Structure formats: structure tokens, C-alpha cells
Amino acid sequence: AQSVTQPDIHITVSEGASLELRCNYSYGATPYLFWYVQSPGQGLQLLLKYFSGDTLVQGIKGFEAEFKRSQSSFNLRKPSVHWSDAAEYFCAVGAQWNDMRFGAGTRLTVKP
Amino acid sequence: GAGVSQSPRYKVAKRGQDVALRCDPISGHVSLFWYQQALGQGPEFLTYFQNEAQLDKSGLPSDRFFAERPEGSVSTLKIQRTQQEDSAVYLCASIPGDSGAYEQYFGPGTRLTVT
């Protein structure tokens, strides 16, 4: 069965520190892969996506993610976190729009 | 340009009441999706329209849930005889095409609380 796992429910990092949010998936083939960010009271905003090609994907706000087929992972990274990055982050996978699966999310807190 | 809008942003309903949630997708977007996001969870797919055709409603949790998009633009998600377990944020998203590698554009959601 298709599934997405975000192992970390809550992560706290200091401002300026690096960040890595984990995402593992189970899917029959290589799906489309996404990372979204959700601020309180807001909808989801796309940070980056992987459809094919280069496995290191650059996104908005200085985020990047690396697709590792052998590990079924698509981890999100940022070299230096800003206070405005505090939000909920969701990994999503799917090969068709009606079978998109979202992880349960990782809440990021940024310490000053 | 305008993004996806949803109304109302917040809705409180007494158990047993009917509610209607509206989604205005980005103008010209062919496909529209509804998701349910329970507290502390990621969004879960409910249903999907391509223009006015509802192509998939497999995620609707019960026959109390009904969605329509009669003119291929605005969509309404209706929940009849609301139950407490229906309390969630309902998200709408749209994409410009009917398939392929498009980015989904999400609205801000409607937070439904059933008391």
C-alpha cells in the first residue's frame, strides 16, 4: 500500500542552524514527490517538487531536497534556518492526482 | 493574480446540521481537488473534478458528503447531517491541466467545527 512517513513530529532548531526534515515513502513505482509548507491559518504552499531528472531539487526560500531511490527517501534541507521558516512541513507523493498521499507533517520551531 | 479562495474560512455547525463549503479555483484551471485535513494530520484526498465532471469520489468518507462543480469553475462541498468526526479543515486545490506534472495551488481552507 502507498504510504508516506515523516518520522519527526516536531523539530526545534536555532536560527542560523542547518535543517533536515525526513520523508520516506512506499510506492509501487517512482512517484511525483513534493514538499509543502503550511503556516497557521494558511493553505499549503509548494516548496519544491521532483518529477524526473536531477535528483537534487532546488526550491523556494532556500530549500532543497534530494531524491534517493534506493532509500525511498526525499529529505528536505536548508543550510541556514530563518525565524520565518517556523511552520508545518508536509511531504507528499503520488503518481496521479487522485492518489496523492501526504505525510502527517513535521512542525518546525525556530529558537532565536 | 488571484489564488484559490474558499469560503467561509470558519464554520461552526451543530451536530446534525447541513453545511456547504465553497471553493473558487484559479480562473481557467481545469482540475479541482478537495482534501480533508484532520487536526495534526496531513491532507487526505476526498474528490477530484476535471471541468464539471467528477472523475473520482473514492475519498469521500460517507454518503453524507457530496461535491459538485456544475459549470466547471466554482465547486461546493456539502456535508449533510454533520457529525463530530467531520470536524477538520477542508482544503481545495486546483491545477491548470487535466493531468501531468502540474503544481497544485491550494486555498486557505475552511475550518469546520461540529459541536
Taking residues A1-6, report their average pLDDT: 88
Whole-number Å distance between alpha carbons of B32 and A17: 38
* Chain B positions in Cβ-Cβ contact with residue A49 (cut-off 8 Å): 101, 103
* Gap between the Cα atoms of B28 and A75, Å rounded: 33
SS3 (DSSP) at A84: helix
Percentage above 70 pLDDT, chain A: 100
Cell numbers 529558537: residue: A111
For CA atoms A48, B1, B44, A110, the dihedral sign is: positive
Distance CA B94, CA B32 (A): 4
Average pLDDT over residues A59-67: 96
- Amino acid identity, residue B47? T
Residue A74 bridge partners (DSSP): A67
Q: Report the sign of the C-alpha dihedral through residues A83, B92, A32, B96, in that order.
A: negative
Gap between the Cα atoms of A101 and A105, Å rounded: 12
| pLDDT tens across the length of chain B (115 residues) | 589 999 999 999 999 999 999 999 999 999 999 999 999 899 999 999 999 999 999 999 999 999 999 999 999 999 999 999 999 999 999 988 776 657 789 999 999 999 9
Average pLDDT value for residue range A11-38 = 93
Neighbouring C-beta atoms of residue B108, cutoff 10 Å: 19
pLDDT at position B101 is 59
Question: A53 and chain B: CB distance < 8 Å anywhere?
Answer: no
End-to-end CA distance of chain A: 41
Largest CA distance in chain A: 42
Summary mean pLDDT of chain A: 92
Q: Would the CB atoms of A104 and B48 count as touching at under 8 Å?
A: no
> Which cell goes with B36?
480533508
The model's confidence at residue A57, banded by pLDDT at 50, 70 and 90, is very high
Q: Is the pLDDT of residue A80 over 70?
A: yes
Question: What pLDDT does B1 receive?
Answer: 54
What's the one-letter identity of residue A91?
C
Answer positive or negative: Cα dihedral of A95, A97, A103, A109.
positive
Q: Does A71 touch chain B (CB under 8 A)?
A: no
- Report yes or no: A49 at the B interface, CB cutoff 8 Å: yes
If you count residue pairs, one on A and one on B, with CB atoms under 8 Å apart, how many are there?
53
Weakest-pLDDT range from A62-71, A92-101, B5-14, B75-84 = A92-101
Q: What is the mean pLDDT of residues A83-101?
A: 89
- Per-residue pLDDT at B67: 98
Q: Report whether A86 contacts A109 (CB < 8 A).
A: yes
Beta bridge partner(s), residue A47: none
> Of A72, A60, A75, whose CA–CA distance to A8 is shortest?
A75
